[in-house]
């Protein structure tokens, strides 16, 4: 038999897309098994080799809620819209924890995974997506805790009125995920050159919590400052959450539409910047 000496050589060239909007989003579906694997890894490894394990998901919001109730309600006397302090603060903490952790962990995508990114190819956006998705599991546990506390107070006679706004709950979770993911990808892209942003982010998140109605209702602010708090895209989300489950809060379809537009914009901008930086970040990280 004759050997195939004259057969043309097969050459496969792997190169990154060149355009700003060449996002190759179909690759996310192709690598969905990897996404699920990373979600499982993030969830399992978080409290691996700890004594209490996933119980920390409950201990953290409970302890934070008790401290907030003691300091801000009992000592400082800040209004909770007539609700028990524990229930009011737990609602804010449940939402804020998911957003802040999504933002913080996503912002470390390039620096924390540089070794892996330099050895094997897969869509880099899979990593921040897995962080936000695994955070949903922790959020679900804390949300169940919130619902349990809610029904306890209803049983003891507290006047808590859930309403039809509760059907917006999936949208609220989606908006928190979009804002955390988009902002996190932007910061992650910038930290490849400017490492100081990691320290600045921790400080900024602490300040941002006080600029968001987590420990106080937006209605307590003077009228002249309302526009400032409403400019925060997280404000309508938290206020709508409390309105839906607790019957308090300033629910406004217009303000929620603003949050939706902001979340969509920052996610698109974050995805484009992330896609652009991933091609050259190994030269600077």
Note the pLDDT of residue 16. Answer: 53
Band (234; pLDDT cuts 50, 70, 90): very high
Task: Please state the rounded mean pLDDT for residues 162-171.
Answer: 93
Q: Which residue has the higher pLDDT, 233 or 22?
A: 233
Note the pLDDT of residue 275. Answer: 84
**pTM (predicted TM-score):** 0.85
> At residue 104, does pLDDT exceed 70?
yes
> At residue 154, does pLDDT exceed 60?
yes
Q: Which residue has the higher pLDDT, 92 or 29?
A: 92
Task: Please state the rounded mean pLDDT for residues 100-112.
Answer: 87
Contacts of 186 (CB under 8 A, 6+ apart): 266, 269, 270, 273, 274
Note the pLDDT of residue 173. Answer: 97
Note the pLDDT of residue 81. Answer: 87
Task: Please state the rounded mean pLDDT for residues 228-254.
Answer: 93
Note the pLDDT of residue 48. Answer: 66
pLDDT digits (tens, 9 = 90+) for 38-63: 888 877 776 665 666 667 778 889 99
Q: Which residue has the higher pLDDT, 31 or 231?
A: 231
Task: Please state the rounded mean pLDDT for residues 59-85.
Answer: 90
The pLDDT > 90 percentage for the chain reads: 42
Do residues 213 and 229 lie in contact, with contact meaning Cβ atoms separated by under 8 Å? yes
Do residues 160 and 246 lie in contact, with contact meaning Cβ atoms separated by under 8 Å? yes
Band (280; pLDDT cuts 50, 70, 90): low
In whole numbers, what is the pLDDT of the chain averaged over residues? 84
Q: Which residue has the tokens 């509760």?
A: 166
Note the pLDDT of residue 10. Answer: 62
pLDDT digits (tens, 9 = 90+) for 173-232: 999 999 999 999 999 888 877 777 777 888 889 889 988 999 999 888 888 888 889 899
Q: Which residue has the higher pLDDT, 282 or 249?
A: 249
């Amino acid at each position: 038999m004759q050997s195939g000496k004259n057969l043309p050589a097969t050459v496969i060239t792997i190169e990154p897309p060149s355009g700003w909007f060449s996002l190759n989003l179909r690759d996310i579906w192709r690598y969905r098994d990897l996404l699920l694997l990373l979600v499982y890894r993030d969830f399992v490894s978080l409290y691996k080799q700890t004594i209490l394990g996933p119980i920390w998901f409950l201990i953290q919001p409970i302890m934070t809620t008790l401290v907030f109730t003691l300091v801000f309600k009992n000592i400082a006397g800040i209004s909770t819209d007539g609700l028990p302090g524990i229930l009011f603060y737990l609602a804010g903490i449940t939402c804020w924890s998911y957003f802040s952790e999504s933002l913080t962990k996503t912002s470390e995508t390039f620096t924390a995974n540089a070794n892996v990114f330099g050895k094997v190819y897969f869509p880099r956006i899979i990593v921040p997506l897995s962080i936000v998705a695994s955070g949903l599991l922790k959020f679900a546990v804390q949300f169940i805790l919130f619902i349990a506390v809610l029904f306890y107070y209803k049983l003891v006679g507290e006047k808590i009125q859930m309403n039809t706004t509760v059907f917006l709950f999936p949208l609220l979770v989606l908006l928190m995920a979009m804002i955390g993911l988009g902002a996190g990808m932007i910061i992650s892209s910038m930290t490849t050159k400017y490492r100081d942003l990691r320290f600045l982010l921790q400080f900024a998140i602490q300040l941002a919590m006080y600029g968001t109605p987590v420990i106080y209702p937006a209605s307590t602010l003077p009228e002249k400052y309302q526009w400032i708090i409403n400019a925060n895209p997280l404000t309508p989300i938290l206020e709508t959450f409390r309105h839906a489950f607790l019957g308090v809060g300033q629910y406004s379809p217009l303000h929620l539409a603003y949050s939706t537009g902001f979340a969509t914009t920052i996610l698109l901008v974050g995805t484009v910047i992330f896609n652009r930086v991933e091609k050259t970040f190994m030269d600077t990280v």
